[in-house]
């Protein structure tokens, strides 16, 4: 089983870079087995499809523009992506996660499990630092993810 | 019928937010406005940072055009300090540039724009056997079997039956402007799915050579930090260089046997699109793929063409050519910044002053880049035309061959389809030069050259430099002024600044805007034709906010006033 932890986001737009900060935190605080890959995808979009396809289990870490208090962490799974009402779009192929997954499924290579850990941002203004609230969430989300990964069979993760 | 204005927001498929307003009268566009809806902010972030570190942040401007900003940024420091770049480093950088171009062109053609021309639902009606016969008549690629097409059709049918074609079905299927046969549509959809494997191979090459993908790790001022030792397992060795070669050969095969024939089939079926979308026919391309250490000799020449007339070609001889460096200015007359007369980027200011969308006033975050006071179109079309005008044999060969096949001439390139064609031809060129650069790198190492960088310390004092790069989407420049090891001013004039630029002081439109005027629009509620022309530029507003939107809200609005 191969696990991909994909951090998405733009490091130049403060909280937008949350996913990348989480991946960096994981790399600094833990030693992962070969079966787990950390991937800093930046804002790669459809060009990251192959990374998803190489894994059986994918955790996406990103910000989400959802209703709720900033700092709230929301969790979505594959069902949410696949069955949620498809957005009405002018462009038939604006490349979001849902598109990537559907294209992968058409190719017969969609990962069997996929989760999105999404946090509601405080600010996405230009800047290289996270807001204090989201800076605090980085460790919480990362440590929570490690706990979850450790509960899976055969994955041993040590702290460094 | 009175003129109506349609607003498309956003129209980009990848990075950032681009809004297009088009006034439609009597079935065609009469006026248009291009508006970047996000402020980049990079210039402000980089102030006070160390010049040698800027490239690391610069490649985060955009998730798709990562390497190009890294290259332009590092070159701006090298230009300021007049550092010579060793040939090994240039070959490695050239390889990265060429492979990144390939990856991006493949994705643009298949995943970001082909569906403006290809009708997925029509593919459900195709006969797989006839599709195979058609595809095999176009090329002898091994993936064109009847079985392949049958499998794709079955998969599509099962998705359609389950209502899962959502990503495709809200598009323009059945639009009167769609005119490929079911078989060509099935062939294109099948290749759309396959193309992902080949963009991945290019990404793999970048990861091996550049340390990581999408953000390369191996640049230093004065060269590259790539450890190469043909015999050492811990470095870029012969085995990994062989892997790079075979990946590049496979991608070249795909470009020659799949992308190129598909492009010919689509261009041939939509020949009327060689008539629309010319817009600004001044072209700018900087020379690229240096063949010496001082950026004065290049594999692909650059220059300026004015008014679509190749006889008016003026070459740009180097990245320090005063004709290039001195003639660039940016206007903020219609952009959301404070400021007066147009400024040279070294003197450029970034003082945001948002006013809301005012078609006669300020209406975009994009400044208006101008060359000697004129708007310029940049991108693969500009590069292919300037290389052709400069007499570059490699480019002449591919352009002439395509013209023979399609029965078109150079004048037809000033168009929406001309931009797609030029991009495909550039992909052919990039696939070839990638292998050439690898051969040169290996030969240079074999000759005993072990230098990969001429490291420099950033001295005290004031310096200014500019890094040019003929990037995937066109001419890119990063302008840096630094004093006592700290950045005082940083301005990036990106390809999209040229193409998406708003009107200037004189009210002269930018390339997107001008290209839309005269564009047909059969149905203002479904302005597919406007998208075709804007997408042909490969728009990328480099500043993405791409937050996932779980509510499934309407992502792009078409508003008809």
CATH number at residue A136: 3.40.50.1450
Q: Which residues contact A91 (CB under 8 A, 6 or more apart)?
A: B11, B13, B171, B531, B555, B556
Nearest to A65 among B120, B196, B547 (CB): B547
Nearest-CB residue to B545 (from A11, A16, A42): A16
The verdict on a CB contact (< 8 Å) between A93 and B168 is yes
State the best of A54, A80, A106 to mutate against chain B, taking most chain B CBs within 10 Å. A106
- pLDDT beyond 80 at B558: no
Q: Is the ipTM here above 0.95? A: no
Do the domains B90-273 and B1-83+278-414+456-561 match in fold?
yes
Distance CA B70, CA B56 (A): 7
Residues B238-258 have a mean pLDDT of 95
Q: Give the distance from residue A77's alpha carbon to the nearest chain B alpha carbon, in angstroms.
A: 11
Nearest CA in chain A to B112: A93
CA distance A138 to B556: 31
Q: Which residues of A touch B548 (CB under 8 A)?
A: 62-65, 96-97, 116, 118
Those of residues 164-193 in B touching chain A at CB distance below 8 A are 164, 166-172, 193
How far apart are the C-alpha atoms of B197 and B214, rounded to whole Å? Answer: 16
**Closest-approach residue (CA) in chain B for A117:** B548
Q: Which residues of B touch A85 (CB under 8 A)?
A: 552
Nearest to B548 among A10, A88, A116 (CB): A116
- Residues of chain B with Cβ-Cβ distance to A45 below 8 Å are 14-15, 63-64, 546
The Cα-based distances of A47 to B107, B111, B200, B386 in angstroms read: 7, 10, 8, 30
Contacting residues for B26 by C-beta, under 8 A, at least 6 apart: B1
Judged by a CB distance cut-off of 8 A, whether residue B102 touches chain A is: no
Rounded to the nearest 5°, which phi and psi values hold at B311?
-70, -20
* A114 pLDDT above the threshold of 80: yes
**Region of poorest pLDDT, from B61-70, B299-308, B455-464, B528-537:** B61-70
- Residue B203 with chain A: CB contacts under 8 Å: 47, 50
Contact A126 B545 (CB under 8 A): no
Query: Nearest CA to CA, how far is B59 from chain A (Å)?
Result: 10
Percent of chain B with pLDDT over 70: 90
pLDDT at B146 over 80: yes
Q: Is the pLDDT of residue B541 over 70?
A: no
The topology (CATH level 3) of B90-273 is: Cytochrome-c3 Hydrogenase; chain B (1.10.645)
Domain that holds residue A43: 3-159
Name the pLDDT band for A88 (thresholds 50, 70, 90). very low
Cβ pairs bridging A and B (under 8 Å): 177
Q: How far is A118 from chain B (nearest CA, A)?
A: 8
**Range of lowest pLDDT (A25-29, A110-114, B35-39, B413-417):** B35-39
The domain B1-83+278-414+456-561 is placed in CATH, from the list 3.30.1330.10, 1.10.645.10, 1.10.10.10, 2.40.128.130, at 1.10.645.10
pLDDT band at B551; cut points 50, 70, 90: very low
Structural domain total, chain A: 1
Closest residue of chain B to A120, computed from CA coordinates: B547
**CB interface of B with A, residues 208-267, below 8 Å:** 212, 214-215
∠ CA A37-A42-A46, nearest 5°, is 85
pLDDT, tens only, B86-124: 999 999 999 999 999 999 999 999 988 888 899 988 999
Section A123-150 average pLDDT = 94
| Surface-to-core class of residue B248, CB atoms within 10 Å of its CB (0-12 exposed, 13-18 middle, 19+ buried) | buried
Of B62, B170, B214, Cβ closest to residue A41: B214
Identify the pLDDT of residue B155.
92
Q: What is the pLDDT of residue B39?
A: 62
């Amino acid at each position: 089983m191969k696990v991909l932890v994909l951090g998405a986001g733009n490091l130049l737009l403060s909280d937008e870079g949350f996913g990348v900060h989480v991946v960096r935190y994981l790399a600094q605080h833990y030693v992962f087995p070969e079966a787990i890959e950390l991937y800093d995808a930046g804002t790669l979009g459809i060009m990251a499809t192959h990374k998803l396809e190489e894994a059986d289990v994918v955790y996406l870490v990103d910000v989400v523009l959802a209703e709720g208090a900033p700092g709230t962490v929301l969790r979505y799974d594959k069902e949410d992506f696949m069955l949620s009402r498809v957005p009405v779009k002018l462009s038939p192929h604006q490349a979001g996660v849902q598109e990537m997954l559907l294209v992968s499924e058409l190719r017969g290579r969609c990962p069997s499990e996929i989760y999105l850990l999404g946090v509601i941002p405080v600010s996405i203004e230009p800047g290289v630092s996270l807001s204090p609230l989201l800076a605090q969430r980085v460790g919480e989300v990362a440590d929570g993810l490690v706990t979850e990964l450790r509960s899976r069979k055969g994955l041993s993760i040590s702290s460094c | 019928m009175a003129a109506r204005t349609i607003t498309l927001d956003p129209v980009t498929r990848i990075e950032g937010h681009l809004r297009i307003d088009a006034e439609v009268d009597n079935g065609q566009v009469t006026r248009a406005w291009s508006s970047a809806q996000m402020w980049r902010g990079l210039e402000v972030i980089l102030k006070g940072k160390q010049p040698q570190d800027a490239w690391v942040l610069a490649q985060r401007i955009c998730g798709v055009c990562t390497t190009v900003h890294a290259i332009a940024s590092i070159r701006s420091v090298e230009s300021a300090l007049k550092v010579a770049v060793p040939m090994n480093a240039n070959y490695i950088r050239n390889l990265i540039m060429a492979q990144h171009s390939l990856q991006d062109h493949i994705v643009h053609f298949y995943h970001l724009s082909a569906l403006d021309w290809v009708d997925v639902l029509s593919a459900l009606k195709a006969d797989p056997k006839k599709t195979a016969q058609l595809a095999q008549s176009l090329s002898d690629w091994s993936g064109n079997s009847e079985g392949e097409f049958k499998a794709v059709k079955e998969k599509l049918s099962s998705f359609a039956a389950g209502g899962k074609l959502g990503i495709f079905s809200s598009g323009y299927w059945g639009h009167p402007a769609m005119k490929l046969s079911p078989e060509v549509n099935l062939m294109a959809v099948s290749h759309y799915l396959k193309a992902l494997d080949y963009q991945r191979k290019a990404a793999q090459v970048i990861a091996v050579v550049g340390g990581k993908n999408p953000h390369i790790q191996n640049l230093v001022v004065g060269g590259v930090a790539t450890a190469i030792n043909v015999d050492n397992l811990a470095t870029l060795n012969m085995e990994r260089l062989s892997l790079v070669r075979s990946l590049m050969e496979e991608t070249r095969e795909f470009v020659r046997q799949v992308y190129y024939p598909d492009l010919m089939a689509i261009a041939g079926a939509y020949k009327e699109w060689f008539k629309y979308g010319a817009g600004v026919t001044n072209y700018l391309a900087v020379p690229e793929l240096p063949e010496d250490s001082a950026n004065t000799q290049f594999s692909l020449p650059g220059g300026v063409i004015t008014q679509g007339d190749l006889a008016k070609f003026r070459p740009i001889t180097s990245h320090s050519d005063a004709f290039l460096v001195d003639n660039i200015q940016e206007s903020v007359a219609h952009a959301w910044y404070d400021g007066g007369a147009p400024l040279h980027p070294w003197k450029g200011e970034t003082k945001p002053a948002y006013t809301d969308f005012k078609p006669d006033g300020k209406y975009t975050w994009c400044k208006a880049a101008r060359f000697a006071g004129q708007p310029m179109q940049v991108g693969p079309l500009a590069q292919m035309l300037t290389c052709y005008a400069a007499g570059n044999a490699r480019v002449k060969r591919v352009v002439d061959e395509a013209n023979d096949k399609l029965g078109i001439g150079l004048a037809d390139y000033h168009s929406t389809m001309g931009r797609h064609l030029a991009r495909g031809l550039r992909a052919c060129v990039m696939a070839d030069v990638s292998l050439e650069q690898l051969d040169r790198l290996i030969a240079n190492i074999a000759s005993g050259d072990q230098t990969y960088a001429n490291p420099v310390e950033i001295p005290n004092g004031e310096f200014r430099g500019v890094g040019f790069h003929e990037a995937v989407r066109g001419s890119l420049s990063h302008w840096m002024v630094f004093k006592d090891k700290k950045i005082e001013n940083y301005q990036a004039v990106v390809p999209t600044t040229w193409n998406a630029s708003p009107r200037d002081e004189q009210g002269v439109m930018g390339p997107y805007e001008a290209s839309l005027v005269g564009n047909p629009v059969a149905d203002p509620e479904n302005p597919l034709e406007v998208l075709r022309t804007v997408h042909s530029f490969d728009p990328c507003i480099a500043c993405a906010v791409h937050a996932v939107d779980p509510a499934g809200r309407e992502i792009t609005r078409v508003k008809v006033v």
